[in-house]
Structure formats: structure tokens, C-alpha cells
């Protein structure tokens, strides 16, 4: 976890801390992330060099396209820094989109033992909160 966060990101985290429970925090984080970022099939391949960007300032300053693992990194920061989740509650999961393209999404464990899948990258293609991109749906 980075110690120094962009000012706007810290402001969002401060708002997330006001959530009434884990599920509300998770939903708000998802809404923040899907309003800022999205995945695009072809940009995933045409912007391959961006997969090596892990600088929090650079990642947060972007909007629009982002690689799935970078979106998940930012989402993880929001959730852990909110205080509602710890790093062990968040698992990186892998699947194949369209049966050929490796794709990462998150699986979040709630205090009640329930798991929620989160896929920021896939939201632009209709992947809903609680699901993840796979196959041809």
C-alpha cells in the first residue's frame, strides 16, 4: 500500500470512511472506479507498455482506459484505506475473456463470509457489480 496518495484520491477515501457498512463502501468504491475508468478490448493490446505503470500519481491522474490489473490496484487501495477491508479480504482472480484474453478481476470477502466479484474493466461491456467478464456475454 502506498503511503502518499493523490489529494483527490484521499478525499474519496475520506468519503468512503463515512459509509455505514462494508457493502456500501464497496458499492461506492465501484461507482467511483467505473465512472473514472473503463476497459477497451483493442486498447488493451495497443497500450501494452502501460501495463508496467504502477506509480499511484500517474494511475490516478488518468481517466478513461486503464488495464484491468491497474484498475484493481486502485480499487484495492480505496478499499483497504477506507478501513472497511484488509488486504487479505481482496483476492486477485483470473479468467479468459472471449476464451483467449487473460483478464484479472477482484473477489472481495465481506465480514458475513459472502464473496463479491468486482470487474472495473468489464463494466463498459455490461459486466454488472458482482460479476466479471468472461466468455462472450
pLDDT in tens, 87-109: 999 999 988 776 567 788 999 99
**Residue 74 near residue 67, CB atoms below 8 Å:** no
Alpha-helix runs per DSSP H in the chain: 7-16, 22-36, 41-46, 56-61, 68-82
pLDDT at 48 over 60: no
In the structure, what pLDDT confidence band is assigned to residue 20 with cuts at 50, 70 and 90? very high
90-97 and 64-65: which strand pairing?
unpaired
Percentage of the chain with pLDDT > 70?
A: 85
pLDDT in tens, 57-83: 999 998 998 989 999 999 999 999 999
**Residue 16 near residue 28, CB atoms below 8 Å:** yes
Percentage of the chain with pLDDT > 90?
A: 60
Residue 90: strand pairing partners: 108
Which residue matches cell numbers 461491456?
Answer: 125
Give mean pLDDT, residues 11-30. Answer: 98
- pTM of the model as a whole: 0.86
Q: How is residue 75 written as a grid cell?
A: 480499487
In the structure, what pLDDT confidence band is assigned to residue 134 with cuts at 50, 70 and 90? confident
Amino acid at each position: 500500500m502506498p503511503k502518499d496518495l493523490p489529494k483527490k484520491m484521499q478525499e474519496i477515501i475520506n468519503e468512503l470512511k463515512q459509509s455505514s457498512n462494508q457493502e456500501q463502501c464497496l458499492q461506492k468504491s465501484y461507482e467511483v472506479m467505473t465512472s473514472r475508468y473503463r476497459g477497451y478490448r483493442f486498447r488493451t493490446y495497443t497500450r501494452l507498455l502501460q501495463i508496467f505503470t504502477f506509480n499511484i500519481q500517474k494511475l490516478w491522474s488518468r481517466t478513461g482506459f486503464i488495464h484491468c490489473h491497474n484498475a484493481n490496484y486502485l480499487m484495492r487501495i480505496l478499499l483497504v484505506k477506507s478501513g472497511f477491508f484488509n488486504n487479505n479480504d481482496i483476492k486477485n482472480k483470473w479468467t479468459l475473456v472471449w476464451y483467449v484474453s487473460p483478464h484479472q478481476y477482484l473477489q472481495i470477502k465481506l465480514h458475513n463470509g459472502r464473496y463479491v466479484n468486482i470487474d472495473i474493466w468489464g463494466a463498459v461491456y455490461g459486466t454488472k457489480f458482482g460479476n466479471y467478464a468472461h466468455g462472450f456475454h
